[in-house]
Amino acid sequence: MNAVVLAILIMVTLSLARVSVVFALITAALVGGWYAGMPLDDILTAFNDGLGNGATVAIAYAVLGAFAVALSRSGITQWLARGAVERLDLDGGGMLKRRPIILALLGALGLAAVSSQNLIPVHIAFIPILVPPLLTLMNRLQLDRRAVACVITFGITAPYMLLPVGFGAIFLNDILLANLNANGLDVEAAQVPLAMAIPIGGMALGLLVAVFASYRRKRNYADRPLSVSGANQDSREHDESVAEVVADGRLKLWQKLLLVAALVGTVGVQLYTGSMVLGGLFGFALLSVSGVFRWREQDGVFTEGMRMMAQIGFIMIAAAGFASVMQATGAVESLVAGSTEVIGDHRWLAALVMLVVGLFITMGIGSSFSTIPIIASLYVPLALNFGFSPMATIALVGAAAALGDAGSPASDSTLGPTAGLNADGQHDHIWDSVVPTFLHYNVPLLIFGWVAAMVL
């Protein structure tokens, strides 16, 4: 068995068995490196060298988590949820309109996710800020959070694979197109979105199935504070008292303006500086001086937010180390080479094997942006050898790389929704984010990617 395949199987099996994803990643990296014949020192060196690649995103999540908890302490989250419940009459006859309200909420979250990739390219930074305040409303609607995870994951993956704007311009033009042409293909920028349309159509079909079939039924959740483990009785009482102040309109005008400035400024600073860390720090600083929570509590608030995001951050760091070990084994190249021996002269089998192999490669690395250079260097010569057209080759490489985002335990496209939906400790990363997105997006990507390779 190939070392990469073995490592991915170990990681997925341990994760599904509810073993910590961090433990699963480290164990899989050690076993995969050992199976590939690497000395222990080399495995540890490669793992440690890769850790830094995930540290930036991890600390960004920690800071954004602190900002999200600070917003909760301001009382605005409770006020928004209470206002929505009253306006929609969810405690009374309004529940008869539950389905239209759910669709409207899911549509709004989907638009926010799409905008985060193209219109306002903040990527996953909006999730810890926007989603936790809506959890109470979702609870009242008895909305299955797995549907929400599918909507958000679709919104933060499909647009950049199809629309050459924002992150899409980076993925389609700067990475995918550049690497395809650098490896012997001759295609133009206008051809790339057209080739990706069929695989993304499969993801759209998966989204419809998730929302209107798989997770349509009601699911009950309890109303809990954002950070169950980090909230003490004093902070809960303070949250409730401040929420009442906000609800009664007793916050001063300048405090309300600072709340708005914190929300807008967080996005603005990130766009201006390109740093999620600075954006989150700016928003937290404004809330600290607004007086919506006591000055002496700011250290506790910041720590509580970091604790809420700690799991996500460590998974990202461990995933970067795992990816580094997998690349150091050299097993990726041997995996592709070994696959070609099985294919023979069958083009249909070649397309299928390339997509499945791409799934194994990208599931561990967890980023389509990072795997494009690896996939393109191996797949473009292989596709040309089997006689695939340029458009079919684009679809094969793009779909194979996209498989690493939706449905991977180590991808920020699944970690992001978990960060927001698990703010109250009621959303499991593997079973409520990874498994649903894998079934509804990776499976259609495999099928529709294969169809694209055959018809283009």
- Within-domain flag for 318: yes
Contacts of 357 (CB under 8 A, 6+ apart): 335, 336, 339, 400
Does residue 81 lie in a domain region? yes
What's the rounded Cα separation, in Å, for the pair 107 and 151? 8
Looking at the domain assignment, is residue 297 inside a domain? no
For the entire predicted model, the pTM comes to 0.70
Contacts of 241 (CB under 8 A, 6+ apart): none
Q: By the 8 A CB rule, do 122 and 270 touch?
A: yes
**How far apart, in Å, are the Cα atoms of 273 and each of 115, 117, 252, 310, 414?**
19, 17, 31, 24, 25
**5, 329, 418: which is closest to 13 by C-alpha?**
5
End-to-end CA distance of the chain: 33
Report d(CA 225, CA 230) in Å as an integer.
Answer: 9
Question: Tell me, what DSSP letter sits at residue 212?
Answer: I
CA 119 to chain centre: 18
Closest by CA position to 225, among listed 213, 217, 215, 233: 233
On whether residue 25 sits in a domain, the answer given is: yes
Q: How far apart are CA 36 and CA 24, in angstroms?
A: 18
Which pLDDT does position 210 carry in this prediction?
93
What distance in Å separates the CA atoms of residue 88 and residue 74, rounded to the nearest whole number? 23
Specify the residue for token string 């604790």. Answer: 307
Q: Considering the domain boundaries, does residue 385 fall inside one?
A: yes
Q: Would you list the DSSP string of 261-305? A: HHHHHHHHHHHHHS-HHHHHHHHHHHHHHHTSS-GGGHHHHHHHH
> According to the model, what pLDDT value does residue 185 have?
81
Are the beta carbons of 57 and 270 closer than 8 angstroms?
A: no
Q: Indicate the helix (H) or strand (E) that contains 101.
A: helix 98-115
Whether residue 129 contacts residue 68, with contact meaning beta carbons closer than 8 Å, is answered with: yes
Contacts of residue 54, defined as CB under 8 A and 6 or more positions apart, other chains included, come to: 316, 317, 318, 319, 320, 321
Distances 255 to 64, 133, 249 between C-alpha atoms, Å: 20, 19, 11
Cα dihedral: 194, 443, 326, 157 (round 10): 50
Does 278 map to a domain? no
Provide the number of structural domains found in the chain: 1
Q: Are 396 and 388 in contact (CB under 8 A)?
A: yes
Residue 353 placed within a domain: yes
Q: Is 75 helix (H, G, I), strand (E, B) or coil?
A: coil
Query: What are the CA-CA distances from residue 347 to residues 24, 343, 344, 385, 413 (Å)?
Result: 36, 8, 8, 10, 31
| Structural domain harbouring 73 | 3-215+307-455
pLDDT for 311: 65
Report yes or no: 376 and 182 within 8 Å, Cβ to Cβ.
yes
**What pLDDT, on the 0 to 100 scale, is given for residue 322?**
79
Name the CA radius of gyration of the chain, rounded: 23
What are the pLDDT tens digits along the chain (456 aa)?
778 778 878 877 887 777 777 788 888 889 888 988 889 888 888 888 878 766 776 777 677 777 767 776 666 655 655 665 566 655 555 555 778 888 888 988 888 888 777 666 566 767 877 788 788 888 888 899 999 999 999 998 888 888 877 667 777 887 788 878 877 788 888 888 898 999 999 999 999 999 999 999 989 998 887 654 333 444 444 444 444 444 444 567 777 787 778 878 877 787 777 676 787 788 888 878 777 667 777 777 787 777 766 666 777 677 778 777 877 887 766 766 666 666 666 778 888 888 887 787 777 666 666 677 667 777 787 787 788 888 999 998 888 888 867 777 877 788 888 888 988 889 988 899 989 999 999 899 989 999 998 888
Distance CA 60, CA 281 (A): 9
Q: Are 48 and 322 in contact (CB under 8 A)?
A: no
Residue 131 lies in a domain: yes
